[in-house]
Amino acid sequence: VINFNKSLNLFIKTDVAKYVEAFDSGEIFDRAVLAGAINHGLLDAIFTSKGFANDGLFALAKILEDVSGVCGNSRNFFLVSCGMFGKALERFNKNNFFVEDVYEKIRNGVAIGAVAHTEKSGGSDHRIFKTRLTRSNTGDFVLNGHKTWITFAGIADYFLVSCFLGEDLVFVLVPKSSLGIEIKLIESLSGNRGSGIADINFDGVVIQKNQIMPSMCDESKWPIFEWIFSVGRVLAASSAIGLIKASIKMSFLRLKSRESFGKKLIESQVWQQELAEMSSQLRAIECLRDISLNYLDEFKYDFLNSDCSMVKNIASNLAIQAAQMNVRVHGAYGYLESEPPNRLLREAVSFEFIEGTNYVLNRKIFAQISGQMIVQSGKNK
Ligand SMILES: Cc1cc2nc3c(=O)[nH]c(=O)nc-3n(C[C@H](O)[C@H](O)[C@H](O)COP(=O)(O)OP(=O)(O)OC[C@H]3O[C@@H](n4cnc5c(N)ncnc54)[C@H](O)[C@@H]3O)c2cc1C
């Protein structure tokens, strides 16, 4: 653990911190960050041992937390390529040489992956998605459709694309080099500017059977779709935790150094109250995140447990509040786009949307609450 923490610190210092401004100005993610992660053994910590799919999830959560406080664009590499993409392949690569081969490339840092789910018609409701996989005359499949807002699409080597096959929503694993793929970067992003966020068009892309991921988790009858996004939500919460910690720390340092009305701002009880409240909520969120990580780690996966959604929701809300407080603490200076408080706020706002918007996840949480109440009222009769 000591070596891991040391390596992580060193990685952030030598390979991440120097890119923050360049990435925020729109320069696309540099694979040198990935090379640094390999050199410091971070990919080995994330993808520990083949066949034990969730080993390394805790290491990944810690990496996300620490990197997120410094550089949101580097964080996105760990969140999407290692987390949602890499961990999904690790879990579902059994007896599929193609998936196993791509997984090895991710594990060794040779390739980057992206998860393509959202469509122009609206990301929250997949039932209205138009991307489809149909059978071709030759017995293969053909993929047609359009995805938008895909983090790392501008740089990734492989995409996990959600699409309908008949009535089923499945994921297909598609190399970027496939014929019929067109990628267009999204301009004028508010934050996450170095993450190669792009639209992808799939026009008659030929897909073979071994590119189609299984649609169900092995140990439960729930779809792989739920599993990928549950992992994404817990990791998004870890990212939010990192951003909250960075905002609190930045605020504290500013309050300690700035004087007003004859005393340091930190001596004001108003700011002490804000910091105390923020830190208390942060602690509660960390506990729920750890419970959710355990829950994923032990494969206790069933639809009714919505801890992963809960922690994503409350962590993202607090991240936005903490980033706003940090801007407030810095006064007008916090309003400057080139300064860290402003960047943290722009990045925090995206947590509301990623891996399912907070309102939409609340539907899942409400389903669990109402289900429990119905069961409870039956027992009390
Ligand atoms: C920085 C960033 C990175 C992203 N990266 C990816 C990626 O890598 N891959 C990917 O597939 N997508 C990605 N997305 C897209 C993201 O997943 C979507 O933005 C999200 O799913 C919401 O979809 P939408 O933006 O179309 O909002 P909409 O679905 O149009 O929703 C609009 C608003 O209405 C609310 N709403 C929707 N339905 C309901 C309802 N039934 N009840 C109450 N309120 C509702 C939503 O909460 C939201 O506030 C990214 C987005 C951002 C900002």
Separation of alpha carbons 338 and 53, rounded Å: 40
Q: Is the CB of 181 under 6 A from ligand 1?
A: no
Angle between helices 340-350 and 224-257 (to 10 degrees): 160
**DSSP state for residue 94 in the 8-state scheme:** T
**Residue to substitute in 357, 358, 359, 366 for testing ligand 1 pocket (most ligand atoms within 8 angstroms of CB):** 357
Cα–Cα distances (Å) from 351 to 81, 90, 136, 209, 362, in that order, read: 17, 25, 39, 35, 15
Length of the chain: 381
Q: What value does the CA radius of gyration of the chain take, rounded to a whole number of Å?
A: 21
Separation of alpha carbons 238 and 72, rounded Å: 12
Among the atoms of ligand 1, which is closest to the Cα of residue 124? 29
pTM: 0.95
Which residue lies with its CA nearest to atom 18 of ligand 1? 123
Question: What's the pLDDT score for residue 378?
Answer: 83
Could you tell me which residues are beta bridge partners of residue 171?
162
b/e sequence 67-94, b meaning 16+ C-beta within 10 Å: bbbbbbbbbbbbbbbbbbbbbbbbbbbe
Q: What is the DSSP string of 165-181?
A: ETTEEEEEEEETTSTTE
Residue 139: alpha-carbon gap to chain centroid = 35
**Residue to substitute in 128, 149, 174, 350 for testing ligand 1 pocket (most ligand atoms within 8 angstroms of CB):** 149
Helix (H) and strand (E) counts in the chain: 13, 9
Query: Ligand 1 center to residue 94 CA distance, Å?
Result: 31
Which residue lies with its CA nearest to atom 3 of ligand 1? 151
**DSSP state for residue 259 in the 8-state scheme:** E
The two three-digit tokens of residue 81, written as one number: 């390529």
Question: What's the pLDDT score for residue 372?
Answer: 80
Q: Is the CB of 211 under 6 A from ligand 1?
A: no
Cα–Cα distances (Å) from 81 to 47, 158, 209, 265, in that order, read: 12, 9, 23, 42
Q: Which of 229, 121, 115, 126 is nearest to 172 (CA)?
A: 115
Residue 157: alpha-carbon gap to chain centroid = 18
First-to-last alpha carbon distance for the chain, in angstroms, is 51
Degrees to nearest 5, angle at CA 283 with 277 and 286? 140
Environment class of 136 (CB within 10 Å of its CB; exposed 0-12, middle 13-18, buried 19+): exposed
What is the per-residue pLDDT across 6-31, written as a single tens digit (0 to 9) for each? Answer: 999 999 999 999 999 999 999 999 99
Per-residue pLDDT of the chain (381 residues; tens, 9 = 90+): 568 999 999 999 999 999 999 999 999 999 999 999 999 999 999 998 544 445 699 999 999 999 999 999 999 999 999 999 999 999 888 889 999 999 999 999 999 999 999 999 988 998 899 999 999 888 899 999 999 999 999 999 999 999 999 999 999 999 999 999 999 999 999 999 999 999 999 999 999 999 999 988 776 677 888 889 999 999 999 999 999 999 999 999 999 999 999 999 999 999 999 999 999 999 999 999 999 988 887 666 554 568 899 999 999 999 999 999 999 999 999 999 999 999 999 999 999 999 999 999 999 899 888 888 888 888 877
Question: What's the pLDDT score for residue 54?
Answer: 56
